[in-house]
Amino acid sequence: MLSTGLSLSGWHGRHKQYGFYIQHGYNRLPISLLGIGCSSCVWRIFSELHAEEQGHCQEKGLLNADFFLAGLLVFTFAAAQAEKIVLFPPQAPSPTAWICGAVFIAAVLACLKFRWTSIGPERRERLHLYLPETQRDFLLWIPVSLLAGVAEECAYRRTAFDLLVLIAGSPRFALVTCVIAFAAAHLYQGWKAAAEIGLLGLFSHIAVFLTGSLYLSIVVHAVYDLLVGWFVMRQLSKDDRASIQAETAVP
């Protein structure tokens, strides 16, 4: 875990130890951080408004998600380059770390499957708005998952986190702020879902700190989104077929 008593100089030493090299220009820090936050919020808000207005026009909504996630990724890369934040250090996670990541994904998905029956109709209706419903939608969901894994991990777990450490001098403050911001960006899924996603974000931060890179968190994030989209697509399809059969059943 992160040491709550870690000084800024000590944090820089820990960064260098794990392959993160930061040379910063303080005059650009607030601008870079604000840009990352605004880019993320804009696409999230747009996604929610589009879902509410367009209903089940999934194809257009998923294409828009690709566009805004790509924009977030470009701005994050630009901010990281401007502040000399290395997003992809040379060392890779150990085989043990990859195994732990696979176990984590399996556990979360098993929990989702176990809890599916307890998810109410209102939340299931929300899932219709932003997750794939058909195989064609799922093909469009693949780039969304990959972009979300790379863009959000680079933005929240590395660039924004490092900028906040440099500005505030507190890794604890940076961690809490990034986790809250990540959860808030998913509020369009509902308060409960946003809180759960915030917890997943915290686990991602811990993975980055322990492995010294973003590689594991990016892969876990992308695979998780991909498998959740596939699982929910199948479940919603089953629910829809059951509902149609119930409505057309002859007494």
| pLDDT, position 25 | 45
pLDDT tens-digit readout, 75-125? 889 888 888 889 999 989 999 999 999 999 999 989 988 888 887 777 777
Domain ranges of the chain: 8-246
Scored b (16 or more CB within 10 A) or e, 121-158 reads eeeeebbbbbbbbeeebbebbbebbbbbbbbbbbbbbb
Q: For the residues 127-143, what does the mean pLDDT come to?
A: 85
At residue 88, the pLDDT reads: 94
Mean pLDDT of 141-161: 93
Residue 136 has pLDDT above 80, yes or no: yes
Calculate mean pLDDT across residues 129-151.
Answer: 89
- pLDDT tens-digit series, residues 4-62: 333 333 344 444 433 343 444 444 555 555 555 555 555 555 555 444 444 445 777 78
